[in-house]
Structure 1
Amino acid sequence: MESEKLKFLSITAVLLSTAATTFTTMTYLEKTEYATSNITEIAAPGLSTPLLSSGSTTISSGEVEQLRARLAEVEAKSKQTNDELWDKKQEIEKLKIQINESQQQIIKMDQHIASIMQENDQLHQKKEQLESELVIFQQCVKDAKDVFDTLLNLNPIRVIRRIEIGAEVLDIVNSAVRTDGMCRRAWHLLNQSPESLSMTAPQSRR
């Protein structure tokens, strides 16, 4: 009788140890279902054979060895699972670092693109300014050509006389102290008609 009690206590201790190990790898729902099931029907993961036959109250030495083997199997499986979880955690940490580095690179690229776009806008504004200046320059060239063509079509004597009068007037205005007599002389020269200009000989400058 004492021997059967010792066997029963031994198997109970093994079952409790197995149950505790198995509980660490179960979800809350699995633990609840496990706790409400018949303890005599506990089996190791992946094995379909129960540890004890239903209704059995004794256990043989062979069954004890079988229980120990299954317990070792559960512990090994638990250690393997923990190692895999640790490896996965390390991989996740490395991925987090890579993601952070990628985000920093993306931020730098965005800043570089913004700088390039700003430079492009400045170049576009400079291009528009140069185009506007080019239009003005082309108009000036056209106006100068029109003036030159007009001068070519005029009487050369009149053109030369007007140039001489213009130089004389400019000299009077720049060098005189704007006395009444000099101003009247300048106005007189400016108001001469083209016909009188062509007939009037150049006068000496004062």
Structure 2
Amino acid sequence: MELKEMKSKFIRQAVTSPVTKQAHALAQTPPQTTLTAFFCLCQEDDFARSLLYIEIPTYYTWSKQKQWVRRKQGRIIPGHDIKASNAISRAYIVHPNNSFYLRLLLHTVRGPTSFEDLRTFQGVLCSTYHEVCASHGLLKDDEHWQKTLQETSVSRVASQIRQLFAIMLTACEIEATIFAVGEIQTRYVQRLSSSNPTAK
């Protein structure tokens, strides 16, 4: 069999394989996540448009149909046909890359209807989440890095905190003054050196 014919046969098999078809189908219609469902909710629900992503579980529950639905039990919110609970929501800690800036926006922007909407500031679509964070004034100083370390120090073991700290120093644009040695020793030295995950 000639090389050209073998190559054509391989391509035909790859394109028609069940795995390839499944991957193509997922790419065309990606599965619904709590975040994308939040975007859909904000397109249809006026009250949801007043909320941050992390506030949604207080007023809505995640259904088996992968949708946010209004809670049926809880205290009534005056002026709204909606109920609230004491549900605790959690935004997962991520490494300081584009996902970090996405997370920062989700803690700041109320009622976004899509990823594009989240990247839009005063009618201008920004190319990256970092850019739109800067437009919102969220990156005027390095306080967000301090908040990242503070949050991580109470929920991760020492090796993970050290890894995050190393990434922040080597891969992120951080002012050296915010991480003065004395300040690091005062705030995080015990957590950076401890092997006990519950150490404070």
TM-score by length of 1: 0.20
Higher strand proportion (structure 1 or 2)? 2
Q: Which has the larger Rg?
A: 1
Higher helix share: 1
